[in-house]
Each structure stands twice: as structure tokens, then as C-alpha cells.
């Protein structure tokens, strides 16, 4: 499903190579059309990012498995069909965490299971709290993009 890479705490070790001048690609995964539109407009205006959208985790996994693009993946925790926690578990099971950079967002930090919070901490995945504000979102996107370029 995913090309081979090793799962490691540094997140950025991967056997794949990518061009350093590649444009930023952001994948926004949220069941809310309004949130996807907000993130798209902010990311495109701030950094000329190429933004793709997925309405749930199943659609996100299909996009992530479908090519060689390296994404900054912004995942909403609570979605129908497949939560972002389930998406991250599926990607980790394929040893592909290192290929993309991840951010998670939620309206309720307390709703995250302890195992999920530990995973986010272990792999340095930032958690953004809704409602999404421009400055923290753009700062997190910048850092995530830098981590893609400078593993």
C-alpha cells in the first residue's frame, strides 16, 4: 500500500528522496467543509500551498497512498467513518509516519484517549485546538513544512 520506510521516533528518517524546492502540499482532513475552506484559504494565501482536501480518514488514506507527494497532513480528531487517530495508526502500521508531516486538531483536548496523546507526544505531532486561529495554524504549518524539507 505504502512504499517501504522505517518507523522511528525521529519521524523524519526515510529512504525516499524528494526535491528540496518542492512546493508545499497540504492535505486537510476534516468532515467540516467550513474548516477545510478556512484552512485552504489561510494556507494558500500565506504560503502559496497546494491544498488538497479529504472529508474523512478513509479518503485521506487513499490520497496518501496514491503517490509520491509528501504532505503536511492536518487531521481533525473527530470524524465519521475513521478518526484521525485511526488514520495515524493505519499509517504507523505501514511504517510510513516518516514520509509525511502531521498536525492534529480537535475542539476538545480531553476527548483524546491517553494512548493517542502519548502517540502525539512521542512523534512530536502538534495538537491545535478549535476554533482554529490563523497565527497558530500558520506557525504549525511552517514548522511542519520545514521538517519535511530538513529531516
- Residue 120: give its domain's CATH number: 3.40.50.2300
pLDDT per residue as tens digits for the range 35-80: 999 999 999 888 778 899 999 999 999 999 877 788 999 999 999 8
pLDDT per residue as tens digits for the range 102-129: 999 999 999 899 999 999 999 999 999 9
Overall pTM > 0.85 = no
Q: Is 12 within the bounds of a domain?
A: no
Structural domain boundaries, residue 123: 25-149
d(CA 100, CA 134): 22
Q: Is 67 within the bounds of a domain?
A: yes
d(CA 69, CA 91): 15
Compute the C-alpha angle 91/51/113, nearest 5°. Answer: 40
- Give the chain's radius of gyration (CA, Å): 14
In the chain, the number of structural domains is 1
**What residues have CB less than 8 Å from 61, skipping those under 6 apart?**
82, 87, 90, 91
Amino acid at each position: 500500500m505504502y512504499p517501504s520506510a522505517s518507523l522511528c521516533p525521529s519521524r523524519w528518517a526515510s529512504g525516499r528522496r524528494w526535491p528540496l524546492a518542492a512546493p508545499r502540499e497540504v492535505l486537510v482532513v476534516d468532515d467540516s467543509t467550513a474548516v477545510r475552506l478556512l484552512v485552504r484559504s489561510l494556507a494558500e494565501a500565506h504560503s502559496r500551498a497546494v491544498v488538497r482536501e479529504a472529508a474523512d480518514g478513509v479518503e485521506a488514506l487513499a490520497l496518501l497512498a496514491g503517490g509520491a507527494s509528501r504532505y503536511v497532513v492536518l487531521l481533525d480528531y473527530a470524524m465519521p467513518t475513521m478518526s484521525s487517530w485511526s488514520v495515524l495508526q493505519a499509517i504507523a502500521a505501514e511504517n510510513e509516519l516518516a514520509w509525511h508531516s502531521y498536525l492534529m486538531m480537535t475542539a476538545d483536548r480531553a476527548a483524546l484517549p491517553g494512548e493517542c496523546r502519548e502517540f502525539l507526544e512521542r512523534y512530536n505531532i502538534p495538537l491545535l485546538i478549535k476554533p482554529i486561529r490563523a497565527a497558530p495554524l500558520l506557525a504549525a504549518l511552517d514548522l511542519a513544512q520545514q521538517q519535511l524539507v530538513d529531516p
